[in-house]
């Protein structure tokens, strides 16, 4: 649990989009972190999720009208706007954002929005053609100019059956944005620290169309980078070719291709880095010569002469100062712990995160991982966890070592 959200007052405005069903999970995640949650629903949103569901999860009555029809009690939009530490509009439909951008006030939610003195966070959700329409783009830009935080829509399959950008950010990503927002105003353990993370595979060219690579997806590295950023660090990812992205705006991505590219990018930044995490699956060997033209098929076998690449973690370990924290990764199939312990000294890292391909759910391509945190002091075995949770454990270990 992140203590940043404990006691924070979160006002959620739910509008009439299919993504409204996801708000149940968002409320649960906020309550799990001990935030106070109050919801305002538009009439249209009730077609997608019931007020009873959200009232039960939030432990507060859900509001949608200015007055309670049974008691006549007035739901003051002014008091609601003053109560909140943060207002979240999710899902934010094209219609609602148009109202917000132009000051239209035709329901309790809009009246509360116009009265709110707290920061406002917006999670757009609509079909892809609506999302890319110039009027929607203009309205989002206008809302950003008001100082509102936009939690960008995500790509994927939409309710229409089309595939593209327009999905509301997943509740976990909205939580990340909320934590990041509050983290900016509170003490974070890695605030002011610079972190470098290597992630993904490298591609070693044979000729213009062929290359040698591996199955690393970069998911673990990006999860660690996001968690470092959430804890206040200024993070740079040196990334091989991957299809993942960061949820944190304060993370800088440097795209590379080969092991040599990665070495040069890391070497350039290492001296000014406080924390360095080597998660990338860097090729150990690369072709000695790269053909400038496509190699034609011939009868018989073909051999490719290979040369050793630079061991990035080992080379940086030789430069490491006592003020720097470095973390190595090991993916092993045999003598796992012995090999991981050997890397502690060989690469001069503070601890090694060991992946064993013998463990179900670990290794490349999974959304989970089963790791051991190996240091000179101890070996800590973690259960099978999501990569996000593994990243939290790894960053916790870094924070403890930073003192």
Does the pLDDT at position 308 exceed 90? yes
Mean pLDDT of the chain: 91
Q: Known binder of ligand: residue 329?
A: yes
The pTM of the full predicted model, rounded to 2 decimals, is 0.61
- Greater model confidence, 41 or 161: 41
Q: Which domains does the chain have, with CATH numbers?
A: 3-183 (3.40.50.1950), 194-402 (3.40.50.10300)
Mean pLDDT in residue range 195-213:
95
| Radius of gyration (C-alpha) of the chain in whole angstroms | 25
Highest mean pLDDT: which of 70-74, 106-110, 296-300, 330-334?
106-110
pLDDT of residue 71: 65
Q: Known binder of ligand: residue 360?
A: no
pLDDT of residue 77: 87
Span 178-189, pLDDT tens digits: 998 887 656 778
Does the pLDDT at position 361 exceed 90? no
Q: Known binder of ligand: residue 343?
A: yes
pLDDT of residue 98: 97
Does the pLDDT at position 18 exceed 70? yes
Mean pLDDT in residue range 284-307:
91
Span 317-338, pLDDT tens digits: 999 999 999 999 998 777 888 8
pLDDT of residue 391: 95
pLDDT classification of 344: cutoffs 50, 70, 90: very high
Does the pLDDT at position 285 exceed 80? yes
pLDDT classification of 93: cutoffs 50, 70, 90: very high
Does the pLDDT at position 403 exceed 90? no
pLDDT of residue 241: 95
Catalytic center residues: 214
pLDDT classification of 124: cutoffs 50, 70, 90: very high
Among the residue ranges 21-30, 49-58, 179-188, 240-249, the one predicted with the least confidence is: 179-188
Does the pLDDT at position 66 exceed 70? yes
Does the pLDDT at position 32 exceed 60? yes
pLDDT of residue 210: 92
pLDDT of residue 1: 55
Span 125-176, pLDDT tens digits: 999 999 999 999 999 999 998 889 999 999 888 888 888 899 999 999 999 9
Q: Known binder of ligand: residue 34?
A: no
Mean pLDDT in residue range 274-292:
95
- In the sheet that holds 351-356, the strands lie side by side as 251-255, 234-239, 194-199, 275-278, 325-332, 351-356, 371-374, 379-381
């Amino acid at each position: 649990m992140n203590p940043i959200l404990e006691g924070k007052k979160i006002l959620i405005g739910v509008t009439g989009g299919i993504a409204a069903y996801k708000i149940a999970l968002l409320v649960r995640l906020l309550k799990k972190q001990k935030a106070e949650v109050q919801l305002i629903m538009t009439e249209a949103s009730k077609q997608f999720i019931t007020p009873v569901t959200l009232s039960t999860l939030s432990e507060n009555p859900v509001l949608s009208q200015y007055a309670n029809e049974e008691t006549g009690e007035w739901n003051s939009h002014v008091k609601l706007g003053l109560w909140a530490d943060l207002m979240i509009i999710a899902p934010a439909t094209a219609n609602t954002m148009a109202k917000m951008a132009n000051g239209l006030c035709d329901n309790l939610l809009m009246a509360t929005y116009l009265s709110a003195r707290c920061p406002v966070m917006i999670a757009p959700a609509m079909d892809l053609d609506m999302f890319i329409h110039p009027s929607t783009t203009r309205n989002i830009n206008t809302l950003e100019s008001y100082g509102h935080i936009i939690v960008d829509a995500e790509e994927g399959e939409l309710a229409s059956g089309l595939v593209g950008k327009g999905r509301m950010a997943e509740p976990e990503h909205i939580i990340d944005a909320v934590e990041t927002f509050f983290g900016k105003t509170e003490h974070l353990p890695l605030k002011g620290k610079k972190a470098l993370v290597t992630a993904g595979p490298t591609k070693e060219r044979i000729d213009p169309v062929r290359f040698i690579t591996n199955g690393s997806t970069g998911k673990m590295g990006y999860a660690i980078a996001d968690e470092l950023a959430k804890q206040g660090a200024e993070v740079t990812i040196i990334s091989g070719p991957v299809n993942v992205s960061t949820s944190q705006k304060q993370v800088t991505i440097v795209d590379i291709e080969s092991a040599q590219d990665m070495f040069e990018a890391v070497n350039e930044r290492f001296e000014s880095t406080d924390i360095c995490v080597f998660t990338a699956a860097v090729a150990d060997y690369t072709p000695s010569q790269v053909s400038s033209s496509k190699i034609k098929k011939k009868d018989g076998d073909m051999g490719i002469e290979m040369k050793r690449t630079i061991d990035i973690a080992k080379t940086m370990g030789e430069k490491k100062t006592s003020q720097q924290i470095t973390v190595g990764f090991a993916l092993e199939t045999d003598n796992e712990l012995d090999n991981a312990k050997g890397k502690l000294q060989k690469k001069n890292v503070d601890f090694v995160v060991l992946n064993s391909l013998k463990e179900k759910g670990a290794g490349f391509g999974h959304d989970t991982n089963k790791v051991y945190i190996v240091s000179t002091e101890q070996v800590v075995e973690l259960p099978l966890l999501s990569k996000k949770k593994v990243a939290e454990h790894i960053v916790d270990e870094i924070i403890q070592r930073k003192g």
